[in-house]
Structure 1
């Protein structure tokens, strides 16, 4: 071997060792960087030129099946977390019996106020106490209904923001596909671009579940497990129109709320649809399914409260068809107009001094023209009876069992608690799976101990090649001195 060939071989070894050391340093520095794939320098012997090593490029190591599993787990976890948070909000909204503002608590106070007024019907302050407690019951129904619609509005706003983010991410994937292809055609290192694209798709997978399919020249296509095409050459366009104010009557089933379109075509956003799984489908479930069902139950409870005090025979002074103590915005309740009644339930103006009424009508009857005997507690006692009467609710998901008014409120809270527990169990399972997959993903990434061992070997190789160069230099100097 000639001196020139030996020098060339040693210099190629120095160059390769230097590049390898740089890559190892980059691996260690990015060990915890999201989306980073471990790099390794691809080298091969230079046979044609007489020896040494040639640099063939940079290899990015990623387990595609593990990445796909991680994305599935991320999608499942994001959806479960969104639903569990919602269930917690609903349970907190209904409150517990110990919570002074809960529905159960205000109904209990109303019942206590009736008992107190029955014992001394002649005391105006006792009658005022009944009015106040009844107003609290109506107010509690209204507050719960308003908050349910508020949660729907929040979900609608989040859907709008999320859809916009999905469109941004899909556009980024298309741009990165093009950049990867261009860089690869020029013979450059595309590892950084692949890291970025993986991170973008990872974020997308928390919103909607995705399947990545390789295409030519380093580009990828994205599909949902339900068959929706998100990226395949070009990015799909998702469209959604936000509704700023949502009322109980505004539902997707009635066609009064925006759905989701993909390239102009309506998408099924219900369970089992093309986008099922992930945060976006959970938000649609909150807006169009879960909150609508919750509104239906709170409406059923409000209806039951109104009908208890509107039934015939309770108040002989009230004409047939007239509203009772609780009204539908001042009118008698119509069972055909139940939707949203929890937001409309109100106290009859005839017993409210602020609306021109008088509290003595709570004792003497809503239709009484003048105050009666102050010691007559028969109507107040009858109100206690209808409040404690066990009856089967006319609607809602309370089953066929007979319940008193307080029992209906307790049933609502019990249902909310059960649903919250189930949602948290689902979240716990999803979190466990996500954590386990994440651990395997990190273990498959950069092993800093292994990288440091590799760096020691690289330093040894660098030193050996440097020694060859030094020896050649000494030999050349000796020859020049002859």
Structure 2
């Protein structure tokens, strides 16, 4: 090898070690940066005309396990879905309470039954009559409170769906811009690995909202599809479309076949909401959890609470001998916003409309004695007559028919149904929390594997630094030796 070849080889070695030290420093500086992937320098032998001239820097490498990343993203979709469900159900069940809690529907029904029993023992007692009315009003309040909590949960879920859609669409726009920048830098031979880190972080965000698949093109651009096959990004962005509904009464439902209801989730005119029935509907992710809260879980709870209210109103109408069935004498102790209730003409949201009949409330001109003698009694009856009270008590001993859509027993006593409803709500919450725990463990394990493989290990980087330092010193020594050789030549 000539002195010139030695100098050229040493110079290429110095340039290579300079690049390596710069990339290593970048790795160490970003060791704690979320989403940063360790970078390496690809080197190869520089050969010109069959003769070795040193080392060549081929580029900056960013090596990741695409299959592991896919698994992490799928796991994050599952975790996000269960997290949404667990949080919403935790908030709701904290409001309605456990079956044994004093504020729960089951406890208030039991208290009302007990107050009726005490009134039956002392039908002449004004205090007992007042206690029945007060207990009835407390019962109505728990119905209304539960109805309001259901409505709030559905409205919150709907609003969060809108936020998630904006998050996805914004991320898609940014990824499209990064695709163009990555392609341009690749064509120019420039380093674009940090841009890929940014892009992967955005794709990770989308995966939490909606499960996706990605395909990387030869030019470095990435195309994104839902797991069901709907294209979100290729040459252009296909935006998610959703219309929020700030106010959601109980009667407003999502039905993909009926216009005018709650909004689904569309991509290029195709509804991919979980309840759409389309083969490409989203199976998991934060959006799926929010749709489940809005359209399934809370709707089920609405039916349960409405069924309990319906049978309570109807039961006391039927048990009251003074209810004729014709207005204005068609209402019982409990009403549907002051009106009689027909169980066969159910309108969702009854639990929010149930009320104690004004005819038994002194503050509205009513008479307490009507809880003893019947709501529409023409005049106050004998003080010791408890016949009507016993008929009211019998409501709690009768077996009633309930809608199968409530997801509970279709034939039960009212108190048993109410207890089952509260227990069902807590059981669904527990299922969501258990599922969240399991999915979180799996996700954490996969995320740790991804971090260990793709992240920065400072100890490893320091070991590499020692090697780079020795390589740099060796190449510098070669240059120094060549310089002395040339100087020696000029001495002659």
Range class of TM-score, shorter chain = over 0.9
Report the CA distance shift for 1:397/1:42 in structure 2 as closer, same or farther (over 3 A). Answer: closer
Tell me the CA shift for residue 248 of structure 1.
Answer: 0.8
Task: Kindly state the Cα deviation for residue 408 of structure 1 after the two structures are TM-superposed.
Answer: 1.5
Report the more deviating stretch, 219-228 or 423-432.
423-432
- Once residues 156 and 410 of structure 2 are traced to their aligned partners in structure 1, the CA distance between those partners, rounded to angstroms, is 34
TM-superposition CA deviations, 1:23-74 (whole Å, max 9, x none): 1222233234332222111122222175221211111111111111111111
| Contact 1:329/1:346 (<8 A) preserved | yes
Aligned mates of 1:391, 1:274 — CA distance in 2: 38
Partner residue in 2 for 1:257 = 262
1:359 is matched with: 368
Q: 1:63 aligns to what?
A: 65
Contact preservation (8 Å) 1:212, 1:222: yes
Confirm or deny: 8 A CA contact 1:228 1:275 kept in the other structure.
no
1:433 and 1:54 map into 2 onto residues whose CA distance is: 42
Aligned residue for 1:417, secondary structure, equals: helix
Confirm or deny: 8 A CA contact 2:77 2:209 kept in the other structure: yes
**1:68-122 superposed Cα distances (whole Å, 9 cap, x missing partner):** 1111111111112212223333432331144222112211221222223223332
- Is contact 2:317–2:323 with CA below 8 Å preserved after alignment? no
Q: Which moved more, 1:177-186 or 1:267-276?
A: 267-276
Partners in 2 of 1:81 and 1:402 — Cα distance?
A: 34
Instruction: Give 3-state SS (helix, strand or coil) of 1:56's partner.
Output: strand
Aligned residues: 479
Can you give the 5+ residue segments of structure 1 that lack an aligned partner in the other structure?
none
Aligned residue in 1 for 2:322? 317
- Aligned ranges 1:72-471 → 2 under 5 Å: 72-253=74-255, 254-255=258-259, 256-270=261-275, 273-311=280-318, 314-321=319-326, 322-335=330-343, 336-393=345-402, 396-403=406-413, 405-445=414-454, 446-471=456-481
Q: Does 1:37 align with 2:45?
A: no
Q: Single out whichever of 158-167 and 121-130 deviates more from structure 2.
A: 121-130
Contact 2:81 2:287 in 1 (8 A): yes
- Answer yes or no: is the 8 Å Cα contact 1:304–1:394 preserved in 2: no
Query: What 5-or-longer segments of structure 2 have no aligned partner?
Result: none
Q: TM (normalized to structure 2)?
A: 0.92
CA 1:414–1:98: 2 relative to 1, 3 Å = closer
Distance 1:215 1:476 in 2: 51
Query: What is the deviation of 1:356?
Result: 1.7
Give the Cα separation in 1 of the matches to 2:251 and 2:481.
Answer: 89
CA distance in 2, matches of 1:380, 1:440: 69
**Distance in 2 of aligned mates of 1:279 and 1:242:** 16
2: CA distance between counterparts of 1:362 and 1:437? 64
Structure 1 residue 299: Cα displacement: 0.8
Instruction: Tell me, in whole angstroms, the C-alpha distance in 2 between the residues paired with 1:435 and 1:126.
Output: 59
SS at match of 1:320: coil
Distance 2:393 2:52 in 1: 105
What RMSD, in angstroms, separates the aligned Cα atoms of the two structures?
2.0
Residue 478 of structure 1: how far off its partner (Å)? 4.8
Alpha-carbon shift at residue 338 of structure 1 (Å): 3.8
Corresponding residue for residue 10 of structure 2? 10
